[in-house]
Amino acid sequence: MTDCERLDMTWGSSASSGYCSQSDSEHELEQFYTARTSLRKTKRRKEEPVDCRKQELSLSEIQQKVKEYNAQVNSNLFMVLNRDGSYTGFIKVQFKLARPVSLPPPRSTSSSSSSSGRDGGCQEDKALKHRTSFYLPRDTVKHLHISSSTRAREVIKALLKKFTVVDNPAKFSLFERSERQNQVYLRKLADDEHPLFLRLCAGPNEKVLSLVLKENETGEVNWDAFSFPELQNFLRILKREEEDHVRQIVRRYALARDKMKEALKNFSTPG
């Protein structure tokens, strides 16, 4: 599958959403906008985007927005409007994953493709246990060509598929990142939201809106939804992270201790 292939998938699930910043809650953000509007009492400046996410756009409005969007694009990543009012285009998603992801084990040429029953189940468990885990670079980005009907959960599934990541998509969420008044805000998208619609409303400016893939908070993950081998793999990853963290701490204190000893040697012994 190439980046320009259209996604055609379905995924049924739900997730909560809401604005948040690194230190502000959704309620605080609403108060911020209320106070800002009441203090200014002026017309909206042209460079401030109109938030149309909660609006139902007519066909003529969509046509106008697609035209305005394409006029601002400096590359060939245009949006294409269809006769029925739907449209297709590109979104760019940045990966900001703190934990490693799992890849499937290499296929064994000696294994039989016709295995079934108990033997097939054992082979599947062994495959889950022997997954390869690695860290994706935090600056990893991926372009996807999607339609206006593609939902956030489908985007997550497609991103994982492109990197052959076999982790459960429920571990991840798609976030909307925006910068306003020197503040950075993150909003978790609901599973049934349409990322391309958000991109169209915001325009191509990444500061106004960008999309980020992150892990769910540990408390939000339904661990009962994972299989026994998957949970075992998570525990192995956590153990490896813990051991690496301990080694880093021991190394740091050993280095500090060596520097202190070296400093003590530099003191001249009184005669």
The pLDDT value given to residue 70: 96
Residue 13 pLDDT greater than 70, yes or no: no
Tokens of 213: 């893939």
Whole-model pTM: value is 0.58
- Would you kindly state where each structural domain of the chain is located, as residue ranges? 59-101+131-220, 226-265
At 232, is the pLDDT very low, low, confident or very high (cuts 50, 70, 90)? confident
- What is the pLDDT at residue 130? 58
Burial per residue of 242-258, b for 16 or more beta-carbon CB atoms within 10 angstroms, e otherwise: eeeeeeeeeeeeeeeee
Architecture of domain 59-101+131-220: Roll (3.10)
Indicate whether 254 pLDDT > 80.
Answer: yes
pLDDT of residue 268: 61
Residue type, 180: R
| Residue 234, CA atoms < 13 Å, CB-side half-sphere | 13
With a cut of 90, say whether residue 175 has pLDDT above it: yes
Instruction: Write out pLDDT tens, residues 75-127.
Output: 889 999 999 999 999 999 999 988 888 888 766 544 444 444 445 555 545 54
Judge whether residue 164 has pLDDT over 70. yes
- State residue 233's pLDDT score: 79
